[in-house]
Every structure is written in structure tokens, then in C-alpha cells.
Amino acid sequence: MTRPPIDMRAAWNRTSATYQELHQIPVDSAHYGPWAPDENHLRLLGDVRGKRILEPGCGGGQCSIAFALQGATATGVDLSDEQLAFARNLAAKSGAAVDFYQGDAADLSRFAGASFDIVFSAYALAYVEDITSCLSEAARVLIPGGLLVFSLDHPFRDCFWDEENDEESLTPARSYFLRDASEWQFSTSGEWMRSFHRTIGDWTDLLREAGFQVQRILEPEPVLTPEEENSWAESYDLETARLIPQTIIFVATRGA
């Protein structure tokens, strides 16, 4: 039986409560992904006080809230109404002033050009189908020389996802060079999701074509506390994360 097309807005609306309850993502620092060192350790953005930061695909808003608490003017955009409701509630509880908007990361037309110093995204851009528009929009809203920092599931990790059995494998299960949409289920909610595989070379080409200069590519090793290990164990396999890269982080600047 063929599944109906996946409505990502509806899928995240149904997944939000389970996801946020399970992972308990903190707001003391921007995070880059499961078991990855956070921004307080990596310092990729520098001092954010007084900076205008946009977070497309902000989810529950934890990173935007962290930036606001550190003195930035933070703005978050997300497709999911439920994620945004969680984000607004969390911001109020945290005493953080953040503007949150419902919208698509590929359409930032509500924002004027050159209106942000930094665009940041954690584990969101792989869900974006029209990635060319997404990166072009990020370049448009950034000031010349502005900073783009985003993290993703490492593309190499996709090779170890066994779609037939819907689980991670310790041997390659698909080609790294197979560029397609993947449909998979969240282990916690059972909700079907869709993401897009792009190679590291694809990402660097896309960034260059959008007017960015890649400054760094990071592949951090897992950094674990007992709490972090427990909070991600339902969604990510720690044994695999210790053998192959889990997260990749791109740091790029907009051209003048």
C-alpha cells in the first residue's frame, strides 16, 4: 500500500511534543546535534552580544533562546505550529525575548535584505527540498561578510541507514552518491519524515553558488555526559556514532 505524500508541517506538529519531552534540549548554549560539542565549546559564532541572528528551522527555539540570553537579537522561523508554540512558551519561561514566525526556510521574504549578522541552523536544512532557494535567501538577508553556520546529520552517516529494515547498520547499506529523498520513521513517535541526502561536495558547491565562502567544515567526535547519552539513545545509535561521524558543521561567510 502506497503512503500518501508526507506533509512535513503536519508531521512535525504531531511529533513535536514527543520530541521535546524526550530530548530536553537545554537553553544555556546553542547546540549542534546529538552528542556534539555545543557553541559554548566550539565558539564558531564568537561574541553574539548585539548581533542580529536568524535561525531558520528553529524547532523548539532552544538555540534562539540561548542567543537571546547571551545578548543577541534573535529571530526564529519554523514550519511547525506546535514547535513554535513550544518555543514561545519556553522563551517566556526562560525570560528571553525572541521573535518566532511560522514559515519555510526557503522563503524568508518577510525579512529585508542585509538585516542579519548571523544565520544559524542546527539539524534542519536536510529537511529542505528547495535548498537552492534556502541558501540564496540566507545570503540575501545577511549583511556583506555575514556569517552562516549550520549543522546536519553527516552525509556519510546516511550510507549506514538500512531503509528496508528502518534501522542503522554498521556496514554500508546505500550509496553515498545516491542523491534522493529518504522517507523514514521517528523511532519515538512513529511519524514518517522526509529528508534529502546531499554529499559534502554538493554542499560546498551549493554554498559557493549562493555567494558564500566556506571557512571551515567540522566533523566533531561525540562528547558525552550520562544525561546526553540517555536523551539521544532512542533516536541515534551511540556505537555507530563512535565509529563514523555523526554531525557535520559548515561555517561560511557571505561575499561582499
Distances (CA, A) of 245 to 5, 74, 100, 229: 31, 30, 32, 16
Q: Show the domains of the chain with their CATH numbers.
A: 8-153+199-254 (3.40.50.150)
Is 0.85 topped by the overall pTM? Answer: yes
Determine which of 82-86, 142-146, 194-198 has the lowest per-residue pLDDT on average: 194-198
- Structure confidence by residue, pLDDT tens digits, 15-42: 999 999 988 999 999 999 988 999 999 9
3-state SS class at 236: coil
CB 213 within 8 A of CB 253: yes
- Structure confidence by residue, pLDDT tens digits, 77-88: 999 999 999 999
Calpha distance 28→15 (Å, rounded): 24
